[in-house]
Amino acid sequence: MLENGEHFFEGVEKLLEIWFEESPNNENDLRNISRSDWEKVLGNVNCEIISTSKNDTIDAFVLSESSMFVSKRRWILKTCGTTTPLKCLSLLLQLAGENGFDVVADLFYSRKNFTRPEVQVKSTDEMLLQLCNSIVLTFQITPHQGFTEEVTYLDSIFPNGRSYCLGSMNLECWYLYTFSRSDVKSALKQISVSEKDVDSEPDQTIEILMQDLDPETMSIFYKSKFASAKEATKESGIDTILPSMHIDDFLFDPCGYSMNGINDKGEYMTIHITPENQFSYVSFETNVALTNYRKLINQVINTFKPGKFIVTIFANKCSLAYETMKELEVEYSKGSHWKRTDMQCCNFPSYNLLFAQYSHNDKICDNL
């Protein structure tokens, strides 16, 4: 609740992904970490587990604020609202070490700029003032009150990390912090790192971050419209986006939606929806390996009908997506209702990154 009585929820998520170096002991596995330990980790984040799904390659957790995925040596946490994912790093690294993973190979922390950064509470005095005035604000908690603060916190754990801002800093942007063990090895000249060493297995991630969603589509994700998540999933067409996924979904009361999907290849997808019209937000993420992402992007935006969206694609040199990312660099036809307002590409030691931003003036459903 804001100062004027207006309801607000920050749908923009903070995304943290960590890859650990392979262990010589094949029995070592992050999935050996117990649920009670994961609950302790998430207690530092200010969220909790709602449901779980798993197969032979990946464990997926639907959380009270978004999702967590655990594979043999990869961990992903995606949380919205006023959660504090960076605060769990110390315990996470301790638990990983206890399970045979002592060295972080790659770390990625990213988020879009907050929808309502002006409601951030910057100090204890300000917080006490609001409480004395009986005003309840939605606010981010240290170390998430700004990207500079997040970078400082991460640098205290990963001294050789690097931070970036893609997009327009005074409009819409996307923040990224990376740490790569290959950077450290090269800087210290301890060993020679070949491309094969850096990219031991294919990896790619696509995120589509959508705002100003179609109100009729968003109405599906209210408990007053559908009683169950399964009904909302089917009515919206979410189940047809990547049909091979086994879906675990949840419909919040009075509104809001989260889902995880996993398949036997160890691939995942996750969707999170904040449907309120004043601050509607939908995120889609998957690591499915495709040679062309245009069809997938079109299906996602035609499902949710945003007014604007951001696409990010990470791919390493072993990935099918590594070269095909260039397809999105091409300007789309003048007949399309979508206007690309920004595009940037970055080359990292292990990965390539593509960032693209699009706006839709009349919200008429259309392909790229």
CB 61 within 8 A of CB 260: yes
The whole-angstrom separation of Cα 263 and Cα 299 is 19
C-alpha distance from residue 129 to each of 121, 124, 137, 140 (Å): 10, 9, 11, 16
Indicate the residue type of 294: R
**Identity (one letter) of the amino acid at 246?**
H
What is d(CA 53, CA 245) in angstroms, rounded to the nearest whole number? 11
Q: Which two tokens stand for residue 82?
A: 């006023």
Copy the structure tokens of residue 238: 């979410």
CA neighbor of 345 nearest in space, from 366, 323, 362: 323
80 is catalytic: yes
Q: What is the CA radius of gyration of the chain?
A: 20
Asked if residue 143 has a cis previous peptide bond (ω within 30° of 0), the answer is yes
The catalytically annotated residue of 47, 173, 272, 319 is: 272
Q: Looking at 64, 66, 71, 350, which residue is catalytic?
A: 66
Active site residue 272: yes
Residue 357's alpha-carbon distances to 96, 165, 207, 208, in angstroms, are: 36, 14, 12, 10
Can you list the pairs that 197-200 forms with residues at least 24 positions away whose Cβ atoms lie under 8 Å?
198/316, 198/317, 198/349, 198/350, 199/316, 199/317, 199/318, 199/350, 200/22, 200/318
Which entry of 13, 150, 172, 276 is annotated as an active-site residue? 13
Which tokens hold the place of 67? 């999702």
User: If residue 251 lies in a helix (H) or strand (E), which one and from where to where?
Assistant: strand 246-251
Burial of 174: CB neighbours in 10 Å, binned 0-12, 13-18, 19+: buried
Active site residue 13: yes
258 in active site: yes
10 is catalytic: yes
| Burial of 112 (C-beta count, 10 Å sphere; 0-12/13-18/19+) | buried
Catalytic residue among 71, 258, 280, 319: 258
d(CA 319, CA 312): 15
Choosing from 67, 71, 80, 88, which is the catalytic residue?
80
Catalytically annotated residues: 10, 13, 66, 80, 258, 272
